[in-house]
Amino acid sequence: RQPLSLLIFDIDHFKAINMRFGQRNGERVLLAFADLLRKSLRREHIVSRIGGETLGVLMPGTGCAEAEDACQTVIDTLAQAGRTENGRGVTLTASAGLAEIGACLDVVIKRAEIALFLAKAKGRNRLEVDSGSMECRRIAPN
């Protein structure tokens, strides 16, 4: 069996970007971020918008450690590209959650989302990796 990882990225403070620069420019930011993901990750990785300012990356053949390295590169690249010398631009950062996919996809998505929320709670512009503590359970009908 090949490893399979799921990354969920969220652009930090995206609503403020939309309010300050308008939704049209917010969409441009999302497209530029998606392009950065495609250029930074392997060709077989699948990048998809999964809602609002949230992008998911399905990473076939990629274990958690390799996915973590790739994700950190993206986060660092975005933060570095968003810095401006004269302070007149927008500083862009992203937070991310990572989970390795096992037997139950619904649980893996929840685990990656929880890791993303934890990244935001710890100050944003960072990656949090799922601890693997949740288990896939079948819910029996009543």
Residues with active-site annotation:
53
Amino acid in position 101: I
3-state helix, strand, coil in the chain (%, to 5): 45, 20, 35
Terminal C-alpha separation, the chain:
35
CA distance 96 to 103: 22
Record the tokens describing residue 77, joined without a space.
Answer: 């690249």
CA distance 17 to 116: 20
**What length does the chain have?**
142
Dmax of the chain from CA atoms?
A: 63
* Cα 38 to the center of its chain, rounded Å: 13
